[in-house]
């Protein structure tokens, strides 16, 4: 059974940093691209970033480019999102999502999410 468990969310001041983690199990982690998708309170879904299975390719939404860094440790089956220079508009539930092997960007499994609140 595929499981994705996010952690690392919390309250942070504007300009601060946070690192999210996503522990994956139930599939061969290194074979799949993985993504982060966020949802601001009461709002819709926004794709944030994707990393290919090998870790060689990464892509970002313009809204986070230069501030967020996605990475993975295939030996630990864990996905990360390093978030720097956080802004109030980054407040959201952050979901880790597994991409379908034949279609990066198509999310077939999602974690339960971790809430990031950026506020002074």
Partner 1 sequence: DIVMTQSPDSLAVFLGERATINCKSSQSVLYSSNNKNYLAWYQQKPGQPPKVLIYWASTRESGVPDRFSGSGSGTDFTLTISSLQAEDVAVYYCQQYYSTPYTFGQGTKLEIK
Contact set with partner 1 (CB under 8 A): 35, 44-47, 50, 59, 61-62, 95, 100, 103-108, 110-113
Nearer to partner 1, 36 or 80 (CB): 36
Question: To the nearest whole angstrom, how small is the minimum distance from the Cβ of residue 114 to partner 1?
Answer: 11
Q: Which residues contact 95 (CB under 8 A, 6 or more apart)?
A: 6, 36, 37, 38, 39, 110, 111, 112, 113
In angstroms, rounded to a whole number, what is the distance separating the alpha carbons of residues 4 and 31? 15
Sign of CA dihedral 29, 35, 41, 44: negative
Nearer to partner 1, 73 or 108 (CB): 108
Question: To the nearest whole angstrom, how small is the minimum distance from the Cβ of residue 46 to partner 1?
Answer: 7
Nearer to partner 1, 15 or 99 (CB): 99
The C-alpha angle 106, 40, 60, rounded to 5 degrees, equals 45
Question: To the nearest whole angstrom, how small is the minimum distance from the Cβ of residue 96 to partner 1?
Answer: 9
The answer to whether 61 and 46 are in contact (CB under 8 A) is yes
Nearer to partner 1, 15 or 94 (CB): 94
Half-sphere exposure of 87 (CA within 13 A, CB side): 6
Question: To the nearest whole angstrom, how small is the minimum distance from the Cβ of residue 120 to partner 1?
Answer: 27
């Amino acid at each position: 059974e595929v499981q994705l468990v996010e952690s690392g969310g919390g309250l942070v001041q504007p300009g601060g940093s946070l690192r999210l983690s996503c522990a994956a199990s139930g599939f061969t982690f290194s074979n799949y691209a993985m993504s982060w998708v966020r949802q601001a309170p009461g709002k819709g879904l926004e794709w944030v970033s994707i990393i290919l299975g090998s870790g060689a390719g990464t892509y970002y939404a313009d809204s986070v480019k230069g501030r967020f860094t996605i990475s993975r440790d295939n030996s630990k089956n864990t996905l990360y999102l390093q978030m720097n220079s956080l802004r109030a508009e980054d407040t959201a539930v952050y979901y880790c999502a597994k991409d379908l092997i034949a279609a990066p960007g198509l999310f077939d499994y999602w974690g339960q999410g971790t809430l990031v609140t950026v506020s002074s």
